[in-house]
Each structure stands twice: as C-alpha cells, then as structure tokens.
Amino acid sequence: MDVLAELEEIIRRIEALRTEVTGEELAVADAQHAYAALLHLVYSGFLRQAPSPN
C-alpha cells in the first residue's frame, strides 16, 4: 500500500469538497485537510529516516 499516494488522494478529495461546503462543514474540511497534510509530512520524514533495506 502506498500510504503517501493515499494521503495525497485524500487531500485532493478534501480540496474538491471544500468548494461545495460552508460554515461548520468547511471548518471540518479544513481540519481534515490539515491533519492529512500533517500525516503526509510526518510519514514522508519517517520514510526518509528509515534505513534502506540491504
């Protein structure tokens, strides 16, 4: 499973959804977008730091 690709797809879907919602739903979409972006950043860093397989 490509976790980064999955997170990127989630981020794209949230960005598309943001144009269709307002108010509280927009706040939820923004929070989910921020969380997915943070997960992407952390997981990318984890992969960079992981030792490469021999």
Q: For 1-43, how does the pLDDT look when each residue is reduced to its tens digit (9 = 90+)? A: 899 999 999 999 999 999 999 999 999 999 999 999 999 999 9
> Under a CB-based contact definition with an 8 Å cutoff, are residues 29 and 11 in contact?
no
pLDDT band at 51 (very low <50, low <70, confident <90, very high): confident
Provide the token pair at 41. 């950043």
Helices (H) and strands (E) in the chain, counts: 2, 0
CA distance 11 to 32: 8
Domain spans in the chain, listed from the N-terminal domain onward? 3-48
Q: What is the dihedral of CA 6, 12, 17, 19, to 10 degrees?
A: 170
pLDDT exceeds cutoff 90 at 44: yes
